[in-house]
Chain A
Amino acid sequence: MTETEAPAETVATDRRTLLEARDLRVEFASRGRRARAVDGVNLAVGEGEIVALVGESGCGKTTLARTLLGLERPTAGTVHFDGEPLKYGSKALKNYRKQVQLVLQDPTGSLNPRHTVYEAVAEGPRIHGLPDEEEIVNSALSRAGLRPPERFLLRYPHELSGGQRQRVVIAGALALNPKVLIADEPVASLDASVRGEILALMLKLRDELGLSALVVTHDLGLAWNIADRVAVMYLGRIVESGPVEQVLTAPRHPYTQALLSVLPESPERVVLTGEPPDPTRIPGGCRFHARCQVLASGKAAEAGVDARCRGELLDILPASAGAQAACYYADATG
Chain B
Amino acid sequence: MTAPLEAVEPAATQAAGPAGDDRPARRGILRYALSKAGGALFSIAMVIVGTFFLFRLLPGDPVRALAQGRNMTPEQLDLERRKLGLDQPLINQFFDFVGDTLRFDFGMSYEYKRPVLDLIGDRIGATLLLAGVGLAVAVSLGIWQGMRAGWRHGSRFDKFSTGTSLVLWSVPTFWLGLLLLLVFGAYFKIFPSRGIQSVDAPDGFAYVLDVAHHMVLPVITLVGVVYAQYLLVMRSSLLDEVGQDYVTTARAKGLRDDDVRRRHAVPNALLPTVTLVFMRVGFVVGGAVTVETIFSWPGLGQLFYEAVRVPDFTLMQGTFMLITVAVIIMNTLADVVYHILDPRVRSA
Q: What is A's interface to B at a CB cutoff of 8 Å?
A: 69, 71, 90, 93-94, 97-98, 101-102, 104-106, 109-114, 116, 118-119, 122-124, 126-128, 133-134, 150-151, 153-156, 158-159, 169, 172, 176
Contact = CB atoms under 8 A, between A and B. Distances in A.
A91 B3 CA distance: 22
B250 A123 contact: yes
B9 A97 contact: no
B10 A153 contact: yes
B6 A134 contact: yes
B10 A134 contact: yes
B251 interface: yes
Contact of B249 (A126, A158, A169): A169
Interface stretch (B13-21, B67-75, B176-184, B201-209): B13-21
Contacts of A122: 6-7
Contact of A123 (B248, B253, B256, B268): B253
Contacts of B259: 127
A158 B344 contact: yes
A110 B253 CA distance: 12
Nearest to A125: B253
B252 interface: yes
Most chain A CB within a 10 A radius of its CB, from B9, B19, B249, B256? B249
Given A133-B6, A150-B10, A158-B347, A71 B252 contact: yes
Given A97-B253, A123-B250, A158-B343, 19 more contacts: A71-B248, A71-B251, A71-B252, A101-B253, A102-B249, A104-B249, A105-B245, A106-B245, A110-B249, A111-B246, A112-B264, A113-B343, A114-B341, A114-B343, A118-B10, A122-B7, A127-B255, A134-B9, A172-B249
A110 B254 contact: no
B19 to A, nearest CB: 6
B7 A124 contact: no
A111 B11 CA distance: 19
A97 B254 CA distance: 6
B19 A176 contact: no
Dominant SS among interface residues on chain B: helix
A101 B268 CA distance: 24
B245 A109 contact: yes
A104 B248 CA distance: 9
Contact of A154 (B22, B264, B271): B22
Interface residues of B, number: 34
B340 to A, nearest CB: 12
Contact of A156 (B248, B256, B341, B343): B343
Nearest to B3: A126
B245 A110 contact: yes
A62 to B, nearest CB: 10
Interface string B106-122: 00000000000000000
21 contacts: A93-B254, A97-B253, A97-B254, A98-B254, A102-B248, A104-B248, A105-B245, A109-B246, A110-B249, A112-B246, A114-B342, A118-B7, A123-B253, A123-B255, A124-B254, A127-B254, A154-B22, A155-B21, A158-B344, A169-B249, A172-B249
A93 B256 CA distance: 10
B244 interface: yes
Contacts of A97: 252-254
Nearest to A176: B253
B243 to A, nearest CB: 9
A110 B10 contact: no
B267 interface: yes
Contacts of B342: 113-114
Interface of B: 3, 6-7, 9-11, 13-14, 17, 19, 21-22, 244-246, 248-256, 259, 264, 267-268, 271, 341-344, 347
A26 B11 CA distance: 45
B12 to A, nearest CB: 10
A109 B6 CA distance: 25
Nearest to A70: B252
Contact of A104 (B14, B245, B343, B347): B245
A101 B256 CA distance: 16
Contacts, number: 91
Contacts of B10: 118, 134, 150, 153-154
A113 B268 contact: yes
A16 to B, nearest CB: 24
Nearest to A137: B10
A118 B7 CA distance: 7
B17 to A, nearest CB: 7
A154 B347 CA distance: 14
Most chain A CB within a 10 A radius of its CB, from B250, B259, B267? B250
A176 B249 CA distance: 13
Shortest 9 CB-CB distances between A and B: which pairs? Answer: A97-B254, A109-B245, A102-B252, A124-B253, A156-B343, A94-B254, A110-B245, A112-B246, A153-B10
B267 to A, nearest CB: 7
B258 to A, nearest CB: 11
Contacts of B251: 71
A111 B341 CA distance: 17
Nearest to A112: B246
A113 B272 CA distance: 14
Contacts of B13: 150
Given A106-B245, A150-B13, A154-B11, A69 B252 contact: yes
Contact of B254 (A116, A118, A128): A128
Contacts of A94: 254
Contacts of B7: 116, 118-119, 122
Most chain B CB within a 10 A radius of its CB, from A69, A71, A158, A176? A158
A154 B17 CA distance: 12
Contacts of B22: 154
A94 B255 CA distance: 8
Given A98-B254, A104-B245, A112-B246, A154 B344 contact: no
A111 B253 CA distance: 13
Contacts of B253: 97, 101, 123-124, 127, 172, 176
Contacts of B271: 114
Given A119-B7, A133-B6, A150 B17 contact: yes
A110 B246 CA distance: 4
